[in-house]
Amino acid sequence: MRETAALDPLALHAANVARLGEGAVVVAGYPGSGAALVGNILLEAGFDYLDPYTEVVHEDGRVTPAEQRVAYRSRLAASDLRDRAGRGEGRDAAQPDGVPGPVFVKTHRHPEEFGGVPLRAAVLLVRDPRDAVHSYFRWRQGFSESGEHGSFAEFLRRPAADGLVPALNWAEFNRRWADLPGGPVPTLRFEDVKRDPVRAVHTVLSDLGVASDPARLADAARRSSFQAMRAHENIRAHGSAARIMRRGKVGEWREWYTASLAVSFEPRQVRETAARFGYEI
């Protein structure tokens, strides 16, 4: 893989997806839906979890951190531990360390990105659109390569590359993954993970036919608490004010949800998709 590919997260994602082996499980979530939390739990529980935006899958099957993303990955406790344990040599994507099982692959892309890839299954990670879109906006302010300097109101009105504004993009993303042929797709709600992470993750793993140890999941959840992950990131942030683990709060939207901002979440497609997952708008 060319080194420049790692500078573009979408190009890196596409190149990595093309090198996935058989049996991967995609964990699909609109940005801001809790992928950092779920990924940390899976890693702490001993499962293999690939971040195709920050890691490189090599032709020989090894997986290493993308050089330009090492500092970012160091903020995430379990990813940092894995990277330091690898000492630059990487790991074999076909031989997950710890509990035997599939490789879980993070994505914020639509299902079409995985056309022709021999996936085992997909999991949809979903969060209340008001919290997910706001969390994504705040992440972009601190970490986006393209920058994010406007107000949240401006962000809500700005179409993405697909021509959809963020709330409609949230609805379209979740609809496409939820309606995959051969469904239903197991769903993991951020709110349920926050409320009872062991039960939420164990249930999804069981739906996938993947064995898990509740005691190990409980330890993984403890190590992945907001307090634990934020404490780790505070050490690794090196003076930066931006945080991946910003608040991790359920229902934060109630703090900013004014009538003028609420308009962005009131289109029929957003309300109907939200209702499918138990969110009332």
Which residue ranges form the domains of the chain, and what is each CATH number?
3-127+167-248 (3.40.50.300)
Distance (Å, rounded) from C-alpha 125 to C-alpha 180? 14
pLDDT score at 90: 60
Mean pLDDT for the stretch of residues 29-44? 98
Mean pLDDT for the stretch of residues 54-64? 92
- The answer, yes or no, to whether residue 93 has pLDDT greater than 90, is no
Segment 204-255, tens digit of pLDDT: 999 999 999 999 999 999 999 999 999 999 999 988 999 999 999 999 999 9
Distance (Å, rounded) from C-alpha 50 to C-alpha 19? 12
